[in-house]
Structure 1
Amino acid sequence: MDDFPAARVGEAADARIAALRDELQKYRRQHEDALTALPPRSEDPVLHALAAPSREVLHQVNAALRRLAEGRYGRCISCQRPIPAKQLKPRPYLLECLACSIPPGPLAKGS
């Protein structure tokens, strides 16, 4: 007798996807709230400049949610290889693997 039928595997995957979607939605709400709390741009341009990281994370979260819905979550948008779980765990909204997210430096091949 099978102690772990395929249906339970599917249920576990569905539960993990739902939990991931909830986690990404939480990040989205946090960054949307932070950006909404800013005064109008003309009142404090410095605060708006400091909010750039929140805008970038919000962009990444929305893209990760789209990719999750499309079944493409967890793959680097540049090289298409899987992003390691150790990178996604602290930042589940990552769109690129570490290798693709680091801009080439002066010692890069072909420079």
Structure 2
Amino acid sequence: MLSRQDQLDALRAVLEEQFQRQTEELTELTVYSGDPERNGYDPHEIATRIATTRQTLAETTQALQRMAEGTYGRCEECQADIPVERLEIRPQARYCVACQRVRSA
């Protein structure tokens, strides 16, 4: 069984891959938005996808920043460790499930 640190290191690789993919997608969508033909995309769809990609990219960047600071995997509200299983599903998670529920209510 891998240690928590080994699991978090594996998640770093996932986040770095997501960062690269999201950056490429944002670049591609930005090019499409300036193209009169838009590669077949509706202008509203492109704008929505750009906004979504920017938000996801920001969340990924913040997660990588937390890793660099040594705070990744700890709930920003209660300071408890966020279970690795949650981080595997949502690597950008900032809160444990209990705190996220309170924030979403």
Q: Distance in 2 between matches of 1:84 and 1:41?
A: 42
TM-score by length of 1: 0.65
Identity %: 32
**1:80 is the counterpart of 2:68:** no
State the structure with more CA Rg: 1
Which 4+ runs in 1 deviate beyond 4 A? Answer: 15-18
Structure with a larger share of its residues in helix: 2
CA distance 1:29–1:88, change in 2 (3 Å): same
Report the aligned-residue RMSD. 2.7
Per-residue CA distance 1:79-105 (angstroms, 9 max, x = gap): 32221111111222212222333411x
Shift of residue 25, structure 1, vs aligned partner: 0.7
Task: State how many pairs are aligned.
Answer: 93
Per-residue CA distance 1:33-74 (angstroms, 9 max, x = gap): 111111227961332213433222211111111111111110
Structure 1: gaps of 5 or more residues: 1-8, 105-111
* Equivalent position amino acid for 1:80 in 2: Q
Structure 2: gaps of 5 or more residues: 37-42
Asked whether the 8 Å contact 2:74–2:81 carries over to 1, the reply is yes
